[in-house]
Amino acid sequence: MTAKTEGSTGAPVAAATAQPAAAAAEEVRQAAARAAERSVAHLLGRQDAEGWWKGDLETNVTMDAEDLLLRQFLGILDEDTLRAAALHIRGEQREDGTWATFYGGPGELSATVEAYVALRLAGDLPDEPHMERAADWVRRHGGIAAARVFTRIWLALFGWWRWEDLPELPPEIIFLPSWFPLNIHDFGCWARQTIVPMSVVLAKRPVRPGPFALDELHTDPRCPNPPRPLAPLASWDGAFQRIDKAVRAYRRIAPRKLRRAALRSAARWIIERQENDGCWGGIQPPAVYSLIALHLLGYDLGHPVMRAGLESLDRFAVVREDGARMIEACQSPVWDTCLAVIALADAGVPADHPALVRAADWMLGEEIVRPGDWAVRRPELTPGGWAFEFHNDNYPDIDDTAEVLLALRRVKHPDPAQIEAAVRRGARWTAGMQCGDGGWGAFDADNTSPFPNRLPFCDFGEVIDPPSADVTAHVVEMLAWEGKARHPRTRRGVDWLLEHQEENGSWFGRWGVNHVYGTGAVVPALVAAGLPGSHPAIRRAVDWLASTQNEDGGWGEDLRSYREPRWVGRGASTASQTGWALLALLSAGERDSEAAERGVRWLVKSQREDGSWDEPYFTGTGFPWDFSINYHLYRQVFPLTALGRYVHGEPRPVPSSAPLPAEAAGARR
């Protein structure tokens, strides 16, 4: 009778239900706070004395193989380097004999060919079981002839492939004006830095015979270079294949004076873009091709340019405890540092904490205040940006600059005027790099030509830099923090994001995997720019995240989502991707939702005793699908940021009076 009476009023039952729910929520909050404290201690302990953070940047064994091939070509390959690199390469081989380009991914032909050749250099014999498995798989998947162009270029350097059977790329491309189709500025900066030295290599066609044959990697050794059929003339592929034939014919009639002038101009272009640390663009691939190109043009190994370049490559090596040597394709100190500062600040570390002030001082010292190649499209724009790497003054990037400014705004610096001036310059430069359609790319404005991706030469990865949702979102969020949520540039960025929402409610992730990354970036940006959590676009994103949450409470998305729709939003739970999903949910006002609570519980449960998280999966991208990255600091900074915001609430932008360029200045072109 008593139960019936209480049930009829509803009040006692509701109160009894509310109390356990409130207690459970408080339990989660306290667990999250303890996990955040452990994570803060771990992250603070990883800061360099100079103020920066940097995690390993793990890619795939082609970096290690090409490093060995470069040293073999230049005649400087030593036994210690060879042995350590081979140890790493062997350790990455899969049971079926192949090498993948990301953890848990399928075997990849070009990576397997290059790894196999590297192990042959190290003395592994073709009849050893692990080598037989690799060679058999390569033959079954088309052999060397089916590998990508860059792999076959490496093999051509040693006589394992014919130069005549590779696409042509004349060095005269250096002379094409910026308005002409397929000029070097039509390519993204990473491709531009590669094709200029590569055009020298293709013009010279050197052969330094390898110490062994590779017959076992051909489907038919009697015909190792089978002709490839032409696509229909009416198709883009067919048209560009025939253009390649015309360029091949030009090679036979190219005026010698013009060719020599092109090679000299290419050498000058390469040398002018060498960074202070000896590298090119802060990334390994352009560096190796630049060294080969300059060497072919007569620069000996003792020349200061060559010596500095080779020394810079040594700094890309990470030596493991077991002696294995892994090559980073790039290093990410600026990116890692600004993300670490945001994570620590949002987790409650005081704004004037010495670690944050040291980090701010280091970031201030990394500002780039001179023009780079980006100025070709924006000559009127005043410099003021940050790059990804230790040294890359020619190519500051928009994504890093936006996040650095968000980090600097979280620091209470003893010289606030210095912060204000740097932020003002950075915000103006970033806003001025807006593309004509309202979005932002990573390095250049309006780098959207449809032609470079059609070249037969470009069969690997993205070679242009169009606007992306993740970069645009970071810029919109930064501008909102600068008090510019109503500025026309910001509103056009918001419109671009709304127009590019996927049908399922997510956003595509260009520089992170994938829709979880894009959505985790866009939703906080839209909210910061003034959209309410009830906006239809945000509700659709919240629904999508809830629908893709794993049973264990975390989120994950496999790299195969870039090619196979069934993988979109699906994959093993990871700390970084769970962090991204939570950042979106929290900003949308879902702090008390079941999805957010389950996600926080997963982060707490999966945290290790030292306050860190483990994450073998690759959640970063260089080129979607083609080149994947495991940023080793992602697994630390993004979970901490999410836990910090769960415990302390959303960070609030600090209005600024920093002016932005006028709407007409370079915004519509």
Helix (H) or strand (E) holding 627: strand 627-631
Q: Which residues share a beta bridge with 621?
A: 628
Q: Quick count: other Cβ atoms within 10 Å of Cβ 63?
A: 23
Contact 343, 641 (CB under 8 A): yes
Integer angstrom CA distances of residue 209 from 67, 71, 75: 17, 14, 12
* CB-facing half-sphere around the CA of 164: CA atoms within 13 A: 6
Handedness of CA 79, 313, 326, 460 (dihedral sign): negative
Integer angstrom CA distances of residue 525 from 258, 441, 568, 588, 621: 51, 16, 22, 10, 21
257 Cβ contact partners less than 8 Å away, ≥ 6 residues apart: none
Give the closest residue to 341 by CA, choosing from 254, 277, 267, 405.
405
Would you call 75 exposed, middle or buried from its count of C-beta atoms within 10 A (0-12, 13-18, 19+)? exposed
Residue 145, SS3?
helix
How far is it, in rounded angstroms, from Cα 98 to Cα 104? Answer: 12
Q: Which of 67, 399, 400, 470 is catalytic?
A: 399
Size of the chain, expressed as the number of residues it contains: 669
Residue 142, SS3?
coil
How far is it, in rounded angstroms, from Cα 328 to Cα 313? Answer: 9
Q: Quick count: other Cβ atoms within 10 Å of Cβ 283?
A: 22
How far is it, in rounded angstroms, from Cα 105 to Cα 594? Answer: 32
Amino acid identity for residue 580 in this structure:
W
336 is catalytic: no
How far is it, in rounded angstroms, from Cα 359 to Cα 341? Answer: 7
* Active-site residue set: 399
